[in-house]
Every structure is written in structure tokens, then in C-alpha cells.
């Protein structure tokens, strides 16, 4: 089995490549945007796992986002179809926006350029009639774990709060964070799902990938505060992010459970 992972140097990409190398005998290549092109001629891939993207939800250059996240993804899917290479790709729970129903077929409400790029590619995939290859999209919820330090402000609160607590002995938290809850999913579980579907699921579709449980930012902060003996300082939420800020996310796992059963997801508070 030969796999190409785009975004191989990114947070999820690093974890996935390490997981594949440790748990399988598959051969893995990586691709980054700056590499320029993918050499399909010398390499006969069985699967492409497309993780590469501009992942910042605050990026304002819409042309740049659309070029890398949407147009390149469409091109890649067409190339895979032409060359009979199966495709997995990263979607995002950001497509649900401020909605509180998180079923895959629920209405979408993208609120940022990033969310729109993911939503539009999902829509494009759903309109295609892929018969020669398998195409699987995974709608990640709030992913956390190893190798996300380089993401800076886009890192998970687990990473950001831990860094603040360790270095400054304080954690900065938005006011009313007991009300802000997210479905935090460990990157190791994400990796296992990718491999599981390649090995066992011969089906096209888009699936939510989360734990099905929401945990408040306040609970995360308190757990980390206790671990590092750090204080919690509350600040108002900046005006520029209020309109797109998802106060609540929680994956509906009905669809993916058909393939993974009652999978035991890592509990974020225990992981901390």
C-alpha cells in the first residue's frame, strides 16, 4: 500500500504519518504546498490523504484561501479520479457555524473564509458521481494533541492554556467560558479513523469525527490550572471574532458508528 499525505508537516499530518509508520507496513510520501506539484507519474499511489490547507479561521485573504483550500482540492480530486487513486480529505465542523444541530445532513452556516472553503468543497464532492474511486471526507471537530505548538493562535485551547500556565503561571480565558463548549477530539483518534476506513470501509461519504461529548473551555482551563498551579484571568471576547465564534459544537456520530461501532474516544480531561 502506498499513501500520499498532503500537509504532511502540519499538526494532523505529522501525527498521521507517524501513526501509519508505527502501525502499518504502508509506504508514505508527503506533499506541501510549496513543493509545487505532485509527481503522479513516478509514484503509483493507492490513496491520497488530503490534509493540506490554510487552517486559520481568521485568515482574510479570500483569494488565497480559495486557491489552496478549494481550487487545489478540486484539482486533486479530479486527478485522483483520472488516475484511479482513492481519496480521503479533511473537512471541518466549522461548516456548521452557529447551528446547534450537527448531523451531516443538517443545514450549514459557514462563518469564515476557511469554513466557506471547506463547505464549498464538501458541496462539490457531494455533486460528483465517483464510481472509479472511493472518496471519504472527515468533518473534524476540535482536534488537539501532539505537534500543534507551531499553530500559534490557531492551536487548541489545550495547547494554548498549557503553554500559558507553564510559562506565565496564568491562563487567559474569555468571560462566560462555562457556556462555551466544544467537542474536543484527540489527534490520535483521528489517525486511527483514517486507517480504519482505508482498511475496512469501501464507501463514499462525509462523516463527522468527534467524541459526541462537549466540554467547556472553563473545565479545560481549570484542569490545566490545577496541573500547573496557575491562576485564571478572564477577559472580554474581542469584537472581531464574536460573529463567527462557535459557542457550542458536539458531533452527531450516528453515521460513523455504522463503521466504528462504540469506539472509545479519548477523554480530553483525562488526557490533560
Mind telling me the catalytic residues?
Answer: 114, 151
- List strand residue ranges (DSSP E) for 105-228, in order: 135-140, 142-144, 170-174, 181-182, 184-186, 205-209, 215-216
Of 210, 72, 200, 43, nearest to 136 by C-alpha is 200
Cα distances from 115 to residues 3, 55, 97, 136, 163, in angstroms, run: 27, 9, 8, 18, 27
How do beta strands 215-216 and 181-182 pair? antiparallel
Distance CA 25, CA 45 (A): 14
Supply 86's cell numbers: 482513492
CA distance 144 to 20: 18
Report the 10 Å Cβ neighbour count for 71.
15
- Cα–Cα dist 16/239, whole Å: 36
What Rg do the C-alpha atoms of the chain give, in angstroms?
19
- Give the C-alpha separation, 18 to 8, whole Å: 10
Amino acid at each position: 500500500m502506498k499513501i500520499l499525505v498532503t500537509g504532511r508537516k502540519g499538526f494532523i499530518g505529522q501525527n498521521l504519518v507517524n501513526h501509519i509508520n508505527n502501525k502499518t507496513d504502508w509506504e508514505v510520501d508527503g506533499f506541501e504546498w510549496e513543493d509545487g506539484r505532485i509527481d503522479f507519474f513516478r509514484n503509483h499511489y493507492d490513496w491520497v490523504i488530503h490534509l493540506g490547507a490554510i487552517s486559520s479561521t481568521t485568515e482574510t485573504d479570500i483569494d488565497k484561501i480559495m486557491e489552496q483550500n478549494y481550487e487545489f482540492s478540486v484539482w486533486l480530486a479530479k486527478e485522483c479520479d483520472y488516475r484511479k487513486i482513492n481519496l480521503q480529505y479533511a473537512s471541518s465542523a466549522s461548516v456548521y457555524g452557529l447551528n446547534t444541530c450537527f448531523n451531516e445532513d443538517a443545514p450549514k452556516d459557514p462563518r469564515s473564509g476557511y469554513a466557506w472553503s471547506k463547505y464549498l468543497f464538501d458541496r462539490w464532492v457531494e455533486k460528483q458521481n465517483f464510481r472509479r474511486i472511493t472518496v471519504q471526507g472527515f468533518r473534524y471537530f476540535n482536534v488537539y494533541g501532539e505537534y500543534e505548538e507551531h499553530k500559534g493562535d490557531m492551536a487548541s485551547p489545550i495547547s494554548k492554556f498549557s503553554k500559558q500556565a507553564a510559562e506565565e503561571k496564568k491562563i487567559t480565558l474569555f468571560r462566560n467560558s462555562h457556556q462555551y463548549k466544544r467537542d474536543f477530539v484527540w489527534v490520535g483518534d483521528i489517525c486511527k479513523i483514517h486507517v480504519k476506513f482505508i482498511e475496512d470501509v469501501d464507501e463514499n461519504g462525509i462523516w463527522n469525527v468527534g467524541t459526541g461529548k462537549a466540554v467547556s473551555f472553563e473545565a479545560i482551563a481549570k484542569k490545566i490550572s490545577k496541573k500547573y498551579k496557575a491562576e485564571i484571568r478572564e477577559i472580554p471576547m474581542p469584537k472581531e471574532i464574536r460573529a463567527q465564534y462557535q459557542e457550542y459544537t458536539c458531533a452527531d456520530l450516528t453515521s460513523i458508528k455504522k463503521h466504528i461501532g462504540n469506539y472509545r474516544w479519548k477523554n480530553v480531561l483525562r488526557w490533560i
